[in-house]
């Protein structure tokens, strides 16, 4: 039921997570959802935490890959590794991903879960930057550049990954020159 609620949350936002909708998605009776969850807020919290764990695992997988590289290899691949960490998988429609992040504000339970889970994402981004010799670069700035470029790409009709790659490459170049670790 948590997975069904997480899918609904990602695809349609918090207001669509109802016992009836979750039960239908999970192939269960509405009463069974109420049996396992005391309230919609409990269900939303679990669903949001599930989503954040999924996003964190994706980012951590990219960080693990970076740690298997030499510093030079990681530096050469840093933009692609950061995009793997920050952007949803190719099978996710970028518009839907960013819409659901915006609609998260409809529920304080969801925003709290997303805010708490942000630490794991930031840690993974930091690991990638450290491997590339860019540990002084703020991971939140990287996420802001990627998300901003993705939203700009969506609104301007450009492929999201290409827009984010271009903008992040430029930003990493500037930040890297200013903040590159000593070798």
- In this structure, is residue 4 part of a structural domain? no
Residue 91: CB atoms within 10 Å: 5
- In this structure, is residue 3 part of a structural domain? no
Query: Measured between alpha carbons, how far is 22 from 126 in angstroms, rounded to an integer?
Result: 36
Q: What pLDDT was estimated at residue 30? A: 84
Task: State the pLDDT confidence band at 178, using cuts at 50, 70 and 90.
Answer: low
Q: What pLDDT was estimated at residue 92? A: 63
DSSP 10: H
Burial of 4 (0-12, 13-18, 19+ CB in 10 A): buried
Domain extent, residue 128, equals 55-179
- In this structure, is residue 24 part of a structural domain? no
Exposure string of 118-146, with b = 16+ CB inside 10 Å and e = fewer, is bebbbebbbbbbbbbbbeebebeebbebb
Average pLDDT, the chain: 91
Q: Are 19 and 29 in contact (CB under 8 A)?
A: no
- In this structure, is residue 35 part of a structural domain? no
Rg (CA), the chain: 18
- In this structure, is residue 28 part of a structural domain? no
Task: State the pLDDT confidence band at 180, using cuts at 50, 70 and 90.
Answer: low
Burial of 41 (0-12, 13-18, 19+ CB in 10 A): middle
Tally of domains within the chain: 1
**What percent of the chain is modeled with pLDDT above 70?**
95
| 183 has pLDDT over 70 | no
- In this structure, is residue 116 part of a structural domain? yes
Query: Measured between alpha carbons, how far is 65 from 47 in angstroms, rounded to an integer?
Result: 28
Tokens standing for residue 144: 């802001």
């Amino acid at each position: 039921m948590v997975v069904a609620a997480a899918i609904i949350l990602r695809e349609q936002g918090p207001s669509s997570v109802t016992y009836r909708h979750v039960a239908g998605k999970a192939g269960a009776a509405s009463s069974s959802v109420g049996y396992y969850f005391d309230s919609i807020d409990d269900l939303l919290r679990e669903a949001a935490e599930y989503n954040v764990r999924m996003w964190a695992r994706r980012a951590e997988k990219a960080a693990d890959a970076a740690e298997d590289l030499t510093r030079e290899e990681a530096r050469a691949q840093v933009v692609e590794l950061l995009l793997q960490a920050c952007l949803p998988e190719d099978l996710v429609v970028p518009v839907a991903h960013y819409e659901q992040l915006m609609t998260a504000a409809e529920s304080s339970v969801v925003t709290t879960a997303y805010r708490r889970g942000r630490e794991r994402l930031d840690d993974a981004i930091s690991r990638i930057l450290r491997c590339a010799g860019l540990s002084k670069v703020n991971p939140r700035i990287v996420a802001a550049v990627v998300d901003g470029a993705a939203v700009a790409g969506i609104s301007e009709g450009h492929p999201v990954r290409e827009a984010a790659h271009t903008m992040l490459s430029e930003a990493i170049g500037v930040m890297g020159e200013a903040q590159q670790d000593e070798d």
